[in-house]
Amino acid sequence: MMSVSQSRFGSVASVRTLLTALLAMSIWVLATGPGAGQTTPLSKLDTDQPIEITADSLEVKQDQNIAIFRGNVDALQGEMGLRADQLTVHYRSSENSEADVNAISRIDAEGSVFLASSQETAQGDVGVYDVENGLITLTQNVVLTRGENVIRGNRLLLNLVTGQSVVDGGVGATRSGGRVRSLFVPKR
């Protein structure tokens, strides 16, 4: 086990992109609800701010090209926060090109995954960002919340390339028998 600075993981922008994309999921899915105009557009979020990752421990396995943050993991960027029990950063190590050295290929968030901004939250048991294919998946007990508006399902898939989002219920995943359940409360 060794301690590594944030630059060891290559592109800080990839971690920043994960946070931005997970926030985008909650904003996009909930944007169809009442009061949607109050949401700050994703394009106005400051993704150039630094990201601070804190955890109880950090383990780097260079032979496997991964860095594992464990215990009370918090990733903060501006007003956005990501919390999980464990965050695993998968990176490529290449001897051929300096541009590819330590580039992040995938980020996994496990255990009580919770994303929050000043107006939205998204939670699930597992989150995976496939950086190479531009896909983000949040699974198991997914709950998206904005104010009193709530969407529940078993899986949320966000394609960053096409902008398409899909929420699935999953068989037996929710009290409603595997169906997506949404509650939109009118503005009073």
Query: Does the model's pTM come out above 0.85?
Result: no
Looking at 2.60.450.10, 1.10.10.10, 3.90.340.10, 3.40.47.10, the CATH number of the domain 6-183 comes to 2.60.450.10
Tell me what pLDDT residue 51 has: 64
- CA-based Rg of the chain, rounded to a whole angstrom? 17
Tell me what pLDDT residue 135 has: 74
Kindly indicate the confidence band of residue 89, based on its pLDDT and cuts at 50, 70 and 90: confident
Task: Find tokens 């992109």 and name the residue.
Answer: 17
Instruction: Give 92-141 pLDDT, tens digit per residue.
Output: 876 655 555 557 788 899 999 987 777 778 789 999 877 777 777 889 99
- Which string of DSSP letters, residue by residue, matches 76-116? EETTEEEEEEEEEEEE---SS-TTTTT-EEEEEEEEEEEEE
